Amino acid sequence: DTGVSQNPRHKITKRGQNVTFRCDPISEHNRLYWYRQTLGQGPEFLTYFQNEAQLEKSRLLSDRFSAERPKGSFSTLEIQRTEQGDSAMYLCASSSQGVGPNTEAFFGQGTRLTVV
Amino acid sequence: GENVEQHPSTLSVQEGDSAVIKCTYSDSASNYFPWYKQELGKRPQLIIDIRSNVGEKKDQRIAVTLNKTAKHFSLHITETQPEDSAVYFCAASIPGFGNEKLTFGTGTRLTIIP
C-alpha cells in the first residue's frame, strides 16, 4: 500500500498515560497534516508540517500535545497525560504541495484513541 | 479563521433520486472547495473539488456548484445508488503559505433507501 499509513489503528489507554501515534505519508509528499475527528463531526485541524518545519498549530493543540517530523518523512503525535476528552480518531494526511486547486490531500485510515 | 457550516446533518433518499448537500463558508479568501466521502471505518476520500474561479464542475453522477458572492457551495448526486451511502464532508481552503489546511464541515450522513 503506497498510501498514507498510520499506526497503531487502535489504542486504548488509561487516563493519565502518554500515547504516541505514527504517520507515514506518501513518499515525497512534503506537507503532512494532523486532524482529530470525534463522532459525528468533521475532521478538525491540529497542525501541519512542510518537510520538518511545523508551520501552524491549532489552539486545539494544548500543551499536552506535541507533534514532530524530524527528518521530513514520518511524523509522530504524542499526547501526554491523556484525558477522556482526548478520545477521538486521529487522522493524518499528506500532499505534495499546500492543499489547493492543484493538490489533493490524501488521508490515512486514522488511529482511534480510547481513553478509559 | 475559516468556518464551514454544512446542512443537512442526515439525509435519506430513495435509490435513483437526487441528493443535495449544502455548505457555507465565512472567509471570502477561500479559493478551494473539496468534497470528501467517508465510509464507515474508512479514510476520507476526495470525490470532487472546485476552484473559486469556476461556478460548476461535474463528474458523472456528481456535481458541485459554487456561489462566491453568497459564499456557499453544494454537492449534487444524481441517480443515487446504495454505494453512495456514506458520510460526506465539505471543506474549504485559504491559499498562501501558512494557510494550507482544510477546514471541514460537520458532515452529512447520506442513506440511500433501496
Distance CA B114, CA A109 (A): 28
The x, y and z cell numbers of residue A70, run together, are 524530524
Distance CA B35, CA A33 (A): 17
Q: Does B97 score more than 80 pLDDT?
A: no
- Cis omega (within 30 of 0) for bond into A8: yes
pLDDT single digits (tens) A67-107: 999 988 999 999 999 999 999 999 999 998 878 777 889 99
| Widest pairwise Cα distance in chain A | 42
Q: Does A64 score more than 60 pLDDT?
A: yes
Angle at A99 between CA B73 and CA B38, to 5 degrees: 60
Distance CA B112, CA A114 (A): 31
pLDDT single digits (tens) B28-61: 999 999 999 999 888 999 999 998 888 999 999 9
Confidence of residue B94 (pLDDT cuts 50, 70, 90): confident
Per-residue confidence (pLDDT) for residue A100, from 0 to 100: 78
- Do the chains contact at A43 and B44, CB–CB below 8 Å? yes
- Do the chains contact at B101 and A101, CB–CB below 8 Å? no
Distance CA A103, CA B52 (A): 14
- Do the chains contact at A100 and B103, CB–CB below 8 Å? no
Angle at B70 between CA B67 and CA B71, to 5 degrees: 75
Q: What residues pair up with A95 in beta bridges, in sequence order?
A: A31
Does residue A40 belong to the interface with chain B, where contact is any CB pair within 8 Å?
yes
Q: What residues pair up with B27 in beta bridges, in sequence order?
A: none
Closest chain B residue to A97, measured at CA: B100
Task: Tell me which DSSP letter residue A28 carries.
Answer: T
Confidence of residue A1 (pLDDT cuts 50, 70, 90): low
- Do the chains contact at A104 and B51, CB–CB below 8 Å? no
- Do the chains contact at A98 and B97, CB–CB below 8 Å? yes
Does residue B97 belong to the interface with chain A, where contact is any CB pair within 8 Å?
yes
Does residue A33 belong to the interface with chain B, where contact is any CB pair within 8 Å?
yes
